[in-house]
Structure 1
Amino acid sequence: MQAEGGLGDRVKVACAVVAILAGIVGFYLLAGKPTLTRVGVLVAGLVVGAVLAWFSASGREFIAFAKESYRETRKVVWPPRNDAIRLTGIVFGFVLMIAIFLWGTDKVLEFVLYNFILGWKK
């Protein structure tokens, strides 16, 4: 029996990555073929990669992590819709103010640099 994370496990993960990459590359190399064929190659590569990853220790650990993450997100208390919309508007407003400030600062520095320090006229 192999130790967790041994050579066999690394080979399985490497084969999974190669299968996924082969599916993606195949999708783009078959650009002239029907869409169903291209998507089939992509899905086949993803499925083969997922199956190979499933049989590795790190793949099983990832699945356990994903399940636990999903369980944790179910525990999150989400804000009511009105609060979320209001807070999103505040964030957008703040981002807009910062963007205008940075644009203005850039223009002032550009004017000072080109007109006074370097003596260039744009």
Structure 2
Amino acid sequence: MAVNAPVARQDFADRLKLVLAAGLLAAGIVGFYLLADQAQVLRVLAVLAGVASALLVAASSGPGGRLWGFFKESRAELRRVVWPTRRETGQTTAVVFVAAVVVGIMLWLFDWVISLAIGAFMGLGG
């Protein structure tokens, strides 16, 4: 993916496609409410049809094509990631847990020492 790639201008056709996609999505939602007296399955299918058609139209636009390309590149990048093994994950989790316990004990000791010092300074000690 290019870092300094120039941003392409949206032409009229792309804008029209995006407006049409928004209209199709809105039509699916409106269809859900217009079919209030119908079976729930038909109402949900109306919404799904609106969403699917809106996605298809939006994907055919310039920004939609770039977004689809980004998703494809992201998926390819995820395949290149070297994920830790189960053993490595367990060891890392154990180290983090032990470190959190040690820091907690240190903070408790500091708090205890400071409270003793303040108590002795104020004459609250026995």
Q: Which of 31, 43, 50 is equivalent to 1:45?
A: 50
Say if 1:79 and 1:5 are closer, same or farther in 2 by CA, change over 3 A: same
Shift in CA distance, 82/57, structure 1 to aligned 2, threshold 3 Å = same
1:23 aligns with 2:28: yes
1:23–1:43 Cα contact (<8 Å) kept: yes
Please report the TM-score for the alignment, with normalisation by the length of structure 2.
0.56
Q: Which runs of 5+ in 1 are unaligned?
A: 95-122
Closer, same or farther: CA 84–38 of 1 in aligned 2, 3 Å: farther
Identify unmatched segments of 5+ residues in structure 2.
Answer: 1-7, 101-126
Q: More displaced, 66-75 or 16-25?
A: 16-25
The AA in structure 1 aligned to 2:86 is R
Superimposed CA distance per residue, residues 11-45 of structure 1 (whole angstroms, 9 cap, x where no aligned partner)? 11121123223324543x24553221122111101
Change (3 A) 1:48 1:80: same
Identity %: 36
SS of 1:5's partner is coil
Corresponding position: 1:69 with 2:88: no
SS in structure 1 at match of 2:83: coil
Runs of 4+, deviation exceeding 3 Å: 24-27, 30-33, 82-91
Q: TM-score scaled to structure 1, two decimals?
A: 0.58
Aligned residues: 93
